């Protein structure tokens, strides 16, 4: 028996070794067409790590990689950012209702998809079909379901879905992950995991309304788009989107509340956060000399500070001039009117590196998920100025737990800026709470990037993975157990009917006997 155990152990080691060897140098196609620099920042961490491990990675993207590594090839989608700049004004979205915030992005995705499929980059990618094959496809399907056409074009290898956009509800549906709406709020609603009756009602309506709108309107548009660009013989995205092996979602329970997750839902929140690099000399000198501490302001990669209304810009400038702190501001134009001496501006700012500086006391942010995670990682309190998407929910989570405060863009004045900034800087509990959360966020058995690489290679090793729930393939009436309810109701009905017949028969028999005695 001892020899048998040793033999089995040797086999296990051999199989493990062969399995690991099988994924070395795998050919991976990354379909990452979402025109958002934040998505690029998040996605690039994974594809660069896979290339660094020896996999051959081809990336279909509108964003050029500034620091490419070996085994890395780009197919650039041209002109899509110009299209977005002409059609969208992100700073005007701050007054949208939650329903508009949830639904409006589908139209954004449809317009972007049309530009993607009509691009020269898409033509170059199509030309690879028949000449090259891929072992795995990584796809950002946040709002770009049209790229399922490329998956079929290359023989439908296993697919890993990714999204920097927290965890959209349709990502749960792809793998059958349960969404208990009693304590898991929609990604755009600023609610906690302990909702009131009215909040749970709103959450229920928005979740199901969004999913119905997507199923009845958005996905048919994507189906038609794929048929038009790839041919009518292609299966539609609405049929194919459950054929994913697993999904990577940009969440972590310490910040986003605990919730059920199937093995196919892998949380890798903070995957983009890297070891800080040295700051540029002028910036380092500026922050090192901040005896009263420093404030960093950035509205992210999609929202430009220089496109804010003039009165809002003036409110921030005048407020900063009255503070004893030094301020760094990501300002996208060459000049900032009225710039005070304690303020340094730049069109580009190394955000992660800045937040790691010990003199940073406060981060004035749009409260995007990537920025929020970086603030948590480095233990820096936040004043959030949300504009769109999940930003309202993100700053709500921070303010609810004493990690930051919300500053509404439409009501921004010099006085409100000073009041909010001083409230956070003047109360050390914000700093202490954020540092405590930072410890929880960092306390993981491996880094989020290591986790993502492992599960990607897991799918490669096994040619896909049986990680989805069987509920994906169930009709809705089976998933909701309505057929069981019908059977149980029928059973109860039969029992009641038999009881009624029995009682009626007994009553008639007793009545007949009574009648006979009376006669």
The string of pLDDT tens digits covering residues 174-222 is: 998 999 999 988 878 888 889 999 999 999 999 999 999 999 999 999 9
Interior angle at CA 309, CA 306 and CA 313, nearest 5: 60
pLDDT confidence of residue 1: 35
Angle at 183 between CA 181 and CA 188, to 5 degrees: 70
DSSP state for residue 235 in the 8-state scheme: P
Q: What is the pLDDT of residue 389?
A: 80
pLDDT, tens digit, 9 for 90 and up, residues 90-126: 666 667 788 877 888 888 889 889 999 999 999 999 9
Average pLDDT for 418-443 = 94
3 state SS of 42: helix
Coil, strand or helix at 296: strand
Tell me the mean pLDDT in the region 478-498.
91
Axis crossing angle, helix 369-378 with helix 37-52, rounded to the nearest 10: 60
Q: Specify whether the CB–CB gap between 272 and 42 falls below 8 A.
A: yes
Cα separation of 256 and 270, whole Å?
12
Q: Cβ(226)–Cβ(146) under 8 Å?
A: yes
Q: CA 262 to CA 178: how far, in whole Å?
A: 8
pLDDT band at 87 (very low <50, low <70, confident <90, very high): low
pTM: 0.86
pLDDT of residue 70: 82
Q: Would you say 45 and 63 are in contact if contact means Cβ atoms under 8 Å apart?
A: no
Beta-strand (E) ranges in 403-502?
404-406
Amino acid 67: pLDDT: 81
DSSP-based three-state secondary structure for 209? helix
| Count of beta carbons in the 10 Å neighbourhood of residue 55 | 23
Element housing 227 (H / E): helix 219-230
Model confidence over 6-62: pLDDT tens digits? Answer: 433 443 344 344 444 456 789 999 999 988 888 888 999 999 999 999 999 999 999
**Edge-to-edge strand ranges of the sheet holding 72-76:** 72-76, 56-61, 27-31, 136-140, 159-163, 246-249, 265-267
Rounded to 5°, angle at Cα 267 from 108 and 172: 55
Torsion angle, alpha carbons of 138, 33, 144, 452, to 10:
30
Averaged pLDDT for residues 221-232: 92
**pLDDT tens sequence across 352-401:** 999 999 999 999 999 889 999 999 999 999 999 998 888 888 999 999 99
Distance CA 444, CA 273 (A): 14
Question: Which of these, 172, 183, 237, lies nearest to 210 by C-alpha position?
Answer: 172
């Amino acid at each position: 028996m001892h020899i048998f155990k040793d033999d089995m152990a040797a086999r296990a080691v051999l199989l493990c070794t062969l399995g690991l060897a099988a994924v070395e140098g795998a050919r991976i196609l990354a379909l990452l067409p979402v025109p958002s620099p934040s998505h690029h920042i998040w996605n690039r961490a994974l594809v660069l790590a896979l290339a660094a491990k020896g996999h051959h990675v081809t990336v279909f993207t509108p964003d050029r990689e500034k620091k490419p590594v070996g085994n890395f090839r780009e197919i650039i989608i041209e002109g899509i950012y110009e299209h977005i700049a002409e059609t969208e004004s992100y700073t005007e979205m701050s007054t949208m209702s939650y329903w508009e915030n949830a639904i409006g992005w589908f139209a954004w995705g449809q317009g972007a998809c049309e530009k993607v499929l009509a691009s020269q980059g898409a033509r170059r990618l199509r030309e690879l079909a028949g000449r090259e094959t891929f072992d795995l496809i990584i796809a950002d399907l946040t709002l770009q379901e049209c790229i399922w056409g490329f998956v079929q074009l290359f023989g439908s290898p296993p697919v890993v879905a990714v999204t920097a956009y927290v965890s959209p509800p349709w990502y749960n549906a792809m793998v059958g992950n349960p969404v208990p709406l009693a304590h898991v709020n929609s990604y755009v609603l600023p609610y906690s995991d302990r909702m009131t009756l009215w909040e749970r009602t709103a959450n229920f309506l928005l979740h199901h309304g969004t999913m119905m709108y997507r199923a009845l309107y958005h996905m048919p548009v994507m189906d038609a788009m794929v048929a038009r660009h790839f041919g009518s013989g292609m299966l539609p995205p609405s049929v194919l989107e459950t054929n994913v092996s697993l999904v990577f979602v940009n969440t972590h329970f310490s910040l986003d509340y605990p919730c059920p997750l199937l093995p196919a839902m892998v949380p890798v929140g903070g995957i983009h956060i890297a070891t800080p690099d040295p700051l540029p000399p002028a910036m380092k000198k500026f922050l090192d000399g901040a005896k009263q501490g420093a404030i960093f302001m950035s509205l992210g990669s999609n929202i430009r500070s220089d496109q804010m209304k003039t009165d809002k810009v003036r409110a921030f400038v005048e407020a900063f001039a009255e503070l004893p702190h030094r301020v760094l501001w990501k300002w996208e134009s060459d000049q900032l009117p009225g710039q005070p001496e304690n303020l340094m501006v730049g069109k580009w700012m190394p955000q992660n590196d800045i937040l790691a500086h010990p003199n940073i006391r406060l981060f004035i942010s749009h409260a995007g998920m990537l920025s929020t995670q970086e603030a948590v990682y480095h233990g820096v309190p936040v004043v959030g100025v949300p504009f769109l998407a999940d930003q309202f929910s993100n700053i709500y989570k921070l303010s609810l737990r004493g990690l930051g405060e919300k500053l509404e863009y439409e009501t921004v004045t010099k006085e409100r800026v000073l009041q909010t900034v001083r409230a956070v800087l003047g109360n050390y509990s914000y700093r202490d709470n954020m540092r405590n959360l930072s410890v929880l966020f960092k306390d993981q058995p491996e880094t989020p990037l290591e986790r993502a690489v492992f599960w990607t290679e897991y799918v490669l090793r096994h040619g896909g993975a049986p990680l989805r729930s069987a509920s994906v393939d169930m009709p809705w009436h089976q998933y909701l157990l309505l057929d069981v309810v019908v059977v149980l109701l029928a059973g109860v009905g039969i029992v009641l009917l038999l009881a009624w017949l029995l009682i009626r028969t007994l009553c008639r028999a007793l009545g007949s006997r009574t009648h006979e005695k009376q006669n």
